[in-house]
Amino acid sequence: MTVETRQGIGGGHFAGLLLAPVRWAMNLIDRPMSFVQRRFGLGGVAAAFLAPNMLVFGIFVLFPMTLNVAYSFTGGGALFLNNRVFVGTLQYETLLACRDFLDAASCREDRFWRAVGNTGFFVVVQVTALVLVSLATALVLNREMRARGFWRAVFFFPVLLSPVVVALIWKWILQRNGLLNAALLELGFEPVLWLVNRGWAMFWAIFLSIWAHLGFYTLILLAGLQAIPRDLYEAAEMDGAPRWRVLTRITLPLLWPNMVVVILLALIRAVQVFDEVFVLTGGGPGTATLFLVQYIYETGLAQQVRNLGLASAASILMAVVLIVLTLIQLLASAWRERKEQR
């Protein structure tokens, strides 16, 4: 009570005014909650506290999750499940109908296989490069230097930019009359149509997603590096161990638990690549940068004839991969925490 009166008189007058409706609302909720408490006891109160979150959760996450499985066994163009026709495993068969799994052109749903191939390539190359670049950056930032906060911010800030902004920044640089082509011309090279060439489009898709996300992984690795006890390095210095030996024998082994978490997080995100690349290339040229999420989005929602069943089946296949990766990641996180406590 004393706190409240002081706020009312002093400089907190404005804040008090602002908080008044909040306080009023909170007091309003107090009544039904107190009733629940009297009627059902603490268990009832717990349920009441959980209810709003779990209700939203149930309607918008859990229910759609189960619905997704049901949709993948139906066909036709109807939006709601009760109007849809049960077709068994037809959608899965359509997706998997390939004469040669290594040649997307031999598949009935060739766009799906191109998306799978592109996503697979993207995941392998992007995650490898991303982890190596993040590791190098974290090692550099972990050195003793002035203005470390500034340098950390330099590498970190793109993490906060929206994918649309990231894509537009680079689209502007990569366009035909863009900065990069101007620089190439200055150096005596021919300008390149970066986003019209299939190989270059994929290269920039990978580059962009590394540029945008490397700060996040650097930060996790940096936290891991700083948790390595100083005295280990001092002991190594006393023994006159060369630097690369310190790196391979002390730093990297002790950083490994963090590396595992970073690799898995990067994998999980890479499988879902969509936003930046979609704005940058729209999946093109042709299907050169068509990835799984874009395939699901276009097949199920963005085409003239929506094929919800096929899109659901594809997203179930993708979910299986993600679930496996996430399970491994959770186990790895628990393993890291146990290691850190020791």
Partner 1 sequence: MSGIATFLTRRRGGASWHFTDVLAWIWLVAGLLLMFGPVIWLGLSSFKTRAALSEFPPTLLPYETAMVHVEGFDEPLPLYRVMMEDGEEHLLVQVRRIGTVAQMADPEAPEEIIRVPLTARQPVREIKLATENYSTPFKRYNFLRYFYNSVFVTVVATIITLIFNSMAAFALSKYQFKGRTAVLAIILATLMVPLSVIIIPLFSVINGLNLFNSLWGVILPTVATPTGVFLLRQYMLTIPDELLEAARMDHASEWKIYWRIVLPLAMPAVAVLAIFSVMWRWNDFLWPLIVLSDQELYTLQVGLNSFQGELNVQWHYVLAMTVVSMLPVVVIFAFLQRFITSGIASTGIK
Site for partner 1 in 9-48 (CB under 8 A): 26, 29-30, 33-34, 37, 42-43, 45-47
CA dihedral 66, 72, 73, 75 (to 10 degrees): 130
Q: Which of 71, 112, 122, 295 binds partner 1 (CB under 8 A)?
A: 71
Task: Give the pair of three-digit tokens for residue 113.
Answer: 């296989």
Binding to partner 1 in span 293-332, by CB under 8 A = 293, 296-297, 300-301, 308, 311-312, 315-316, 318-319, 322-323, 326-327, 330
Q: How many CA atoms lie within 13 A of 102 on its CB side?
A: 0
Name the β-bridge partners of 86. Answer: 74
Q: Binding pattern to partner 1, positions 153-172, x when CB under 8 A?
A: xxxxxxxxxxxxx--xxxxx
State the residue for tokens 């925490």: 337
Closest CB to partner 1 among 61 and 105?
61
Name the segment binding partner 1 (CB under 8 A); options: 13-21, 94-102, 103-111, 174-182: 174-182
Type of residue at 81? L
When asked if residue 132 is in the footprint of partner 1 (CB under 8 A), the reply is: no
Q: Return the number of the residue (9 or 22) whose C-beta is nearest partner 1.
A: 22
- x-or-dash string of contact with partner 1, 201-240, rule CB under 8 A: ----------x----x--xx-xx-----------------
By the rule CB under 8 A, 193 interacts with partner 1: no
- Residue 56 touches partner 1, criterion: CB under 8 A: yes
Q: Distance between CA atoms of 334 and 10, rounded to whole angstroms?
A: 49
Residues 104/115, Cβ–Cβ less than 8 Å: no
Exposed / middle / buried, residue 306 (Cβ in 10 Å: 0-12, 13-18, 19+):
middle
Closer of 99 and 150 to partner 1 (Cβ): 150
Residue 75, classed as helix, strand or coil, is strand
